[in-house]
Amino acid sequence: MAKRGPTYTCQACGAVYHRWQGKCDACGTWSSLSEEAQAAPVPGGRVSSNSRARGRVFALETLRGETQDAPRIVAGIGELDRVTGGGFVPGSVLLIGGDPGIGKSTLLMQACAALANGGHRVVYVSGEESTGQVRLRAERMGLADAPVDLAAETNVEDIVATLNQGQRPALVVIDSIQTMWSGEVESAPGTVTQVRGSAQALIRYAKTSGACLILVGHVTKDGQIAGPRVVEHMVDAVLSFEGEGAHAFRVLRGQKNRFGATDEIGVFEMTGKGLSEVTNPSALFLAGRDQAAPGAAVFAGVEGTRPVLVEIQALVSPTSLGTPRRAVVGWENSRLAMVLAVLETHGGLRLGQHDVYLNVAGGLRVNEPAADLAVAASLISSLTGAILPAEGVYFGEIALSGAIRPVSVTAARLREAAKLGFEAALLPAGGADFGEGSGLGLRRFGHVAELVADIAARAPRRDVK
Ligand code: TYD
Ligand code: MG
């Protein structure tokens, strides 16, 4: 039997301790433990010592049993449907995380309105804004006439009781899970125990009723979904809504999806009338490109199944500091360090006395190692002052040995580049031969030294070494 008395719950990961301590052993966060009453039994759960002792006998099934492939509920917002894997699955639960103000409520209101207009019953429960505020926003987006059922409530028992009345909704949005509280959990609203208890009650409702449930979760400074880390493994899909404050466009990215691929992205642009879909992101990311400046290379990337071209910008300038600065926006710091080390060791560049700044234009976050070649090209270009060919795209992975390795989905990258009017591709030597027939001039590199030589040959002056 568990000991009764106060317990201390880590507000970052949900680990429970019987004694207070400064640092959570489970996730390493400092000062994250707060006192909470003993975790109550799962609200609405049927676990009693009696029923557990006797247990109910259930029939086991085979894998080859009956499956019901419920039709997905398609929102009709292409960029959203792509990320969910082709529409919402009835009875599934989605968690959407993102910084405050990024546009989660806006996106979900648009999805609700689209489904409601399509004849589905949709319920939007706001725990943060009053119904008046939600209406005002809907009006601004021209969605006020959509037959969405709206409520401003925070108690999950009341919400579930209300949802169980009348026709089963196709979609229920809870904005946000951090504002929900359950009367059967003894902790204060906003604590991990409350968030977990509320989420459990709502998820049970979704699973039993067959309604699709979307939970909104806020994100902390370091990019974790605050509190509801504990919710992440209870849900079927986790999507994150990202964007740079200064840019109008937003990226919806799948992080976990039991019903589809996780690497798909949906691109939106925030306008005065809500979010509009961006069906050709490459054109958006390349807009306003300065083709006559050194340090810029176009990377032919792939996000999920979709090729996306982005400009990688580098600035390499002599430093006055003892330890030169390395700053990256939109790419991994450690990956940049690796490319710099390879360029120094195998490309003969001297970067130890230079600050290095790297930026993925437009605010996109690139996760692919295939960006190595474009990053290396932009760095060499900035250092040497050589302008890279404006009509060329770069992709390829760089190994620690300096070898340039082939990457996947070459054909799609080349097709996208050709579609956008590029004339050449600078890519790894070897690998499957998809390039011919793309209409692009192909220039292949097997080693970073070849890349350095190629770019240095275009330099106005020679100061590579
Ligand atoms: P919101 O959806 O409330 O963000 P979240 O729910 O993620 O906190 O979006 C708020 C921001 O979006 C706000 O800064 C204003 C902007 N916005 C527009 O630019 N146009 C619009 O039509 C709407 C509704 C919001
Ligand atoms: Mg909101």
- Is residue 124 included in any domain, yes or no? yes
Of 279, 303, 323, the position where a domain reaches its end is 279
Q: Is residue 56 part of a domain?
A: no
pLDDT at res. 220: 65
**CATH code at position 248:** 3.40.50.300
DSSP 73: B
Q: With 60 as the cut, is the pLDDT of residue 96 above it?
A: yes
The span from the CA of 102 to the CA of 259, in Å, is 25
Q: Tell me: the pLDDT tens digits for 252-279?
A: 988 888 888 777 889 999 998 999 998 8
- Residue 80 is which amino acid? L
Q: Domain boundary at 249, 279, 309, which?
A: 279
| Spatial separation of the C-alpha atoms in residues 187 and 352, rounded to whole Å | 54
pLDDT, tens digit, for every residue of 373-429?
999 999 999 999 999 998 999 999 999 999 999 998 888 899 889 988 899 999 999
Specify whether 274 is located in the same domain as 288.
no
By residue count, the chain amounts to 465
Give me ligand 1 centre to Cα 104, in Å: 8
Please report the atom of ligand 1 found closest to the CA of residue 175.
6
Tell me, using a 6 A CB cutoff, whether residue 140 lines ligand 1: yes
Task: Decide: 361 and 311 in contact? Cβ < 8 Å.
Answer: yes
103 and 235 housed in the same domain = yes
293 and 252 in a single domain? The answer is: no
Same domain, 293 and 231: no
Summarised one tens digit per residue, pLDDT across range 184-209 is: 888 887 778 888 899 999 999 999 99
Do both 121 and 237 map to the same domain?
yes
Name the domain boundary from 279, 294, 310. Answer: 279
Residue 256 lies in a domain: yes
Ligand 2 centroid, distance to 110 Cα (angstroms): 13
Query: How far does the centroid of ligand 2 lie from the alpha carbon of residue 249, in Å?
Result: 17
Are 350 and 435 within one domain?
Answer: yes
- Domain shared by 179 and 288, yes or no: no
- Assign 299 to helix, strand or coil: strand
DSSP conformation class of 362 = G
146-171 confidence digits (pLDDT tens): 999 999 999 999 999 999 998 999 99
Region class of 455: left (phi > 0), else alpha (psi between -120 and 50), else beta = alpha
Nearest alpha carbon, ligand 1 atom 13: 101
Answer whether 258 contacts ligand 1 (Cβ < 6 A).
Answer: no
Q: Are residues 256 and 391 in the same domain?
A: no
What pLDDT sits at residue 287? Answer: 81
At 1 the pLDDT is: 47
Work out which ligand 1 atom sits closest to the CA atom of 100. 8
**Ligand 1 atom at minimum distance from 107 CA:** 2
**Residue 25 in domain:** yes
Check pocket membership of 102 for ligand 1, CB cut-off 6 A: yes
Average pLDDT over residues 297-301: 95
Q: Is residue 95 part of a domain?
A: yes
108 and 182 part of one domain: yes
Of all ligands present, the nearest one to the C-alpha of 243 is: 1
307, 260: one domain: no
For ligand 2, the distance from its centroid to the CA atom of residue 139, given in whole angstroms, is: 16
Q: Which of 247, 251, 270 is the pocket-test mutation for ligand 1 (most atoms within 8 Å of CB)?
A: 270
| 61 part of a folded domain | no
CA of 132 to the centre of ligand 2 (A): 14
Mean pLDDT of 115-130: 95
What is the distance between the alpha carbons of residues 65 and 295, in angstroms, rounded to a whole number? 58
Give the distance from CA 109 to its chain's centroid.
Answer: 19
Q: What is the whole-number distance in angstroms between the Cα of residue 114 and the centre of ligand 1?
A: 18
Q: What residues have CB less than 8 Å from 243, skipping those under 6 apart?
A: 102, 103, 249, 250, 251, 270, 363
Q: What is the pLDDT at residue 434? A: 63
Q: Decide whether any atom of ligand 1 lies within 6 Å of the 176 Cβ.
A: no
Substitution site in 80, 95, 102, 106 for ligand 1 pocket (most atoms within 8 Å of beta carbon): 106
List the CATH number of the domain containing 382.
3.30.230.10
Q: What pLDDT is attached to residue 221?
A: 58
- Quote the ligand 2 centre to 102 CA distance (angstroms): 8
Domain count, the chain: 3
pLDDT band at 430 (very low <50, low <70, confident <90, very high): confident
| Whether the CB of 392 sits within 6 Å of ligand 1 | no
Residue pointed to by tokens 């806020």:
218
Domain that holds residue 27: 7-36
> Among residues of the chain, what percentage have pLDDT more than 90?
53
CA 275 / ligand 1 centre spacing (Å):
9
* Residue with CA at minimum distance from ligand 1 atom 22: 274
pLDDT mean across residues, the chain = 87
In a domain, 230, yes or no: yes
Atom number, ligand 1, closest to the C-alpha of residue 176: 6
In a domain, 344, yes or no: yes
* Per-residue pLDDT reduced to its tens digit, 309-328: 999 999 999 998 889 999 99
> Domain check: are 302 and 234 in the same one?
no
87 lines ligand 1 (CB under 6 A): no
Q: Are residues 166 and 262 located together in one domain of the fold?
A: yes
